[in-house]
Amino acid sequence: MAESGKDGRGSRRPLLVAMKGHPGCGKTTVSRAIAKALHCPVVDKDDIRDCSMDLECPCVMSCTCESKTFNFTSHKLNTLSYVVMWRVTETQLELGLDVVVDCPLERPGLFDKAVALSEKFGATLVIVECYSGDNQIWKERLESRAELGMSDTQIVFTTRPSLGRDEHDFYHLESNDTPRSRVLTMDSSDLPQLAARKLGAETETRKTVLDVGFGGPTAPPSKRWHKPARWSDIEKILEKYAGCFKYDTGSTKKIMVDTTAVPSQEAVDAVLRWLEALDSTTELVTYYP
């Protein structure tokens, strides 16, 4: 692996690998493979966000009240996830370790934070951007991932507008003797505890876990807000971005990998070769394939 340069004392500078790309484009697969090869930590923003899901609603895991008060908004929790991600990254760099940061890096402000940390600790910053050149393959992978996230012991049903949220509101019910996963549509009058009784979940023979809102720790990946399950979700995300992810990364070296053009392992191998030759690479942007 390239030494990433030396500081004034002759010590090796740490490497900060910042992943970039839209949901479902293979960032997680590539980031973990890089971290494994470098024997360094990977800091995944979604890992942190998963752990905050039970703060989405104070009634999670024990839903008995007729009305819900959301003390923490998704926006605040999402912001907190990024704050924690960068703080953990900072600690690794302070220790002189290489670190892989896995997040969409969709806005210039996130890139600026990576630049600031690399400058603070004398680290070499590089960007690995995963993208999909074939939207049909991207769509199929996204929906396949969502299906795999559904276990045999989960019933997920959607409703609106009883929680005062939007079309992504849902209740997640898990019990130990449910049939194959299925999606049930409930009417808007079905508050969580009423829906649970309607499904016969509240019996002595069933273990019931009820999550309210966008999802809790037990919710399948396909029903977590940060894991889009449908192509329409991606279209909404891209519309919201309004092209903000197409920003200039200046003198930071970047490799752009079309993960729909090659198998995952081939993409990973290409990134690792690029990192190995980083010191001798003169191009600011490298494309693969």
Tens-digit pLDDT profile for residues 14-57: 999 999 999 989 999 999 999 999 999 999 999 998 787 666 55
Give the dihedral sign, CA 284/271/19/262: positive
Q: 21: Cβ–Cβ under 8 A, 6 or more apart, which residues?
A: 27, 104, 105, 129, 130, 131
Q: How confident is the model at residue 4 (pLDDT cuts 50, 70, 90)?
A: low
Q: Residue 43 in contact with residue 100, Cβ under 8 Å?
A: yes
The residue type found at 16 is L
Q: Per residue in 74-103, pLDDT tens?
A: 778 889 999 999 999 999 999 999 999 999
Q: What is the pLDDT of residue 253?
A: 98
Q: What is the mean pLDDT of the chain?
A: 74
For the chain, the helix, strand and coil percentages under 3-state DSSP, each to the nearest 5: 35, 20, 45
pTM of the model: 0.72
Which domains does the chain show, CATH number per domain? 15-58+71-139+239-288 (3.40.50.300), 150-219 (no CATH)
Q: What is the pLDDT of residue 75?
A: 75
206 vs 90: which has the higher pLDDT: 90
Question: Is the pLDDT reported for residue 135 higher than 80?
Answer: yes
Least confident span in 21-25, 221-225, 279-283: 221-225
Task: Give the β-pairing of 170-174 and 209-213.
Answer: antiparallel
119 vs 220: which has the higher pLDDT: 119
**Which secondary-structure segment (H or E) carries 258?**
strand 253-258
Percent of the chain at pLDDT exceeding 90: 50
Closest CA to 211 of 157, 248, 254, 283: 157
Rounded mean pLDDT of 174-186?
A: 42
